[in-house]
Amino acid sequence: MNLEAARSLLFVPGDRPDRFAKAEAGGADGVVLDLEDAVGAGHKAEAREHVRAWLAEGHPAIVRVNAPGTPWFADDVTAVGSQAVAVMVPKAEDPSALPQGVPVIPLLETALGIARANSVCAAPAVVRPAFGSVDLAAQLGVDHRSHEALRHARSAVVLAAAAAGRPGPIDGVTTAVDDAAALSADIAEAVLLGFTAKLCIHPRQVEAVRRGFAPSAADVEWARGVLAAASEGSVAVYEGQMVDRPVVLRAEAVLARAE
């Protein structure tokens, strides 16, 4: 699993091992086995063992562990950290509380986490940050479906990822499983702000997410045209716009995403 290039990550409850194989075959770029919100307190240990056994069989997966400060965090990391492709840490707020020696996806979903996004994203173990819209909205008392209410927070995560030299961040879930229009709108907002992937809660969302975060045919054509123009001299113009180094870098990034 290429964590830096993944566009779609599909959650599956850690206490539902009957769904693991289906999720793995569902077309997402990666599967996130969830030990946190999807699993009740009385089933945490059982879910952890199901996840540990699945990973031990050689199946690649990200694991969302329980948050630092909970009774389950340390045991989760000990059980799965060495086998998981990465550990997703919810309520990420403190770089020193992140697991060491394993790839980490910090889930920035609290006001303090957003305020400290720069330092969290810069932690050595961090591969790529993710944004948790639902939890943050609940804390702020706003509608998690509102793009406007969470635009500042989303942009803060994008800026923090870029400042730390991390890949574009992963956007949070769309809770409307059967609303294709809502999913499409959420994808468009995320792409507009600089996100390059999204968390999914149902296999039906995966294909739309993968398409939505891929560069369009028009984007690819533009990028190729820019690079062709740039190759002809130090000062170039393409479609009436000056082509300088930042434009070339953007074109290169578009083509890299297309691949």
What number of residues does the chain have?
Answer: 259
Distances (CA, A) of 96 to 68, 100, 123: 10, 9, 8
Tell me the three state secondary structure of residue 234.
coil
- Band the pLDDT of 238: cuts 50, 70, 90: confident
Q: What pLDDT score was predicted for residue 92?
A: 98
The single-letter code of the amino acid at 242 is M
pLDDT digits (tens, 9 = 90+) for 204-227: 999 999 999 988 888 888 888 888
Q: Please report, in range form, the residues annotated as the binding site for Mg(2+).
A: 109, 135
Whole-angstrom distance, CA of residue 253 vs CA of residue 250: 5
- Band the pLDDT of 95: cuts 50, 70, 90: very high
Tokens of 118: 């720069």
DSSP assignments along 35-53, one per residue: SSTTS-GGGHHHHHHHHHH
Sorted by where each starts, the structural domains of the chain and their CATH numbers stand as 8-212 (3.20.20.60), 217-258 (no CATH)
Residue 244 clears pLDDT 80, i.e. is over it: yes
Tell me the three state secondary structure of residue 242.
strand
Whole-angstrom distance, CA of residue 151 vs CA of residue 179: 21
pLDDT digits (tens, 9 = 90+) for 132-190: 999 999 999 999 999 999 999 999 999 999 999 999 999 999 999 999 999 999 999 99
Q: Tell me if 173 sits within 8 A of 199, measured CB to CB.
A: yes
The single-letter code of the amino acid at 161 is A
Q: Please report, in range form, the residues annotated as the binding site.
A: 64, 109, 135
Whole-angstrom distance, CA of residue 120 vs CA of residue 157: 10
Given the DSSP bridges, would you call strands 104-108 and 86-89 parallel, antiparallel or unpaired?
Answer: parallel
pTM: 0.91
Phi/psi of residue 215, nearest 5 degrees: -60, 140
Q: Please report, in range form, the residues annotated as the binding site for substrate.
A: 64, 109
Q: What pLDDT score was predicted for residue 258?
A: 79
pLDDT digits (tens, 9 = 90+) for 46-60: 999 999 999 999 999
Q: Tell me if 203 sits within 8 A of 23, measured CB to CB.
A: yes
Residue 68 clears pLDDT 80, i.e. is over it: yes
